[in-house]
Amino acid sequence: MRLSSKILKNVENVNSFETDTTWYVSQEGAVGENKILYFQLIDKNKNGLRYIPSETATVKVRFSNLEEELVIVKNASIAFGADRSIWRVDLMQEDLVSGGNVAFEIDDNGIKTKWFVVGALTVEKINSGAC
């Protein structure tokens, strides 16, 4: 098993969403954007088929930063009870994330698996002082 994540956008329900390569979030100065980021667990050894973890599985999402004290780790939650492969992570205004790679970790019945998605996050700065 080689897990990864598909980035999802325009998520309406378990049967209505699109895939993308990047999440986009906005920041204006020291205020981030309240945003729900969706992703789907997949198994790369099975041609990217969705991965359905156990009902007790937990997932953490790590938003990297060059400064360790600015790294943000969020607990994800299952987005739709009918499909445990689709998860969500909630960003709040105080979560000033940096763009780039995003790391994931699942603990599924004591078996921990880690992976990252290259370039999964783009941060668009609004009114960052440019002319």
Model pTM score: 0.93
pLDDT, residue 56, reads: 96
pLDDT, residue 90, reads: 97
Please say whether the beta carbons of 57 and 76 come within 8 A: no
Domain boundaries, the chain: 3-126
Q: What is the CATH number of domain 3-126?
A: 2.60.40
Query: Which amino acid does the sequence have at 107?
Result: D
> For the chain (length 131 residues), average pLDDT per consecutive 10?
96 96 92 94 97 97 89 96 96 92 97 96 80 55
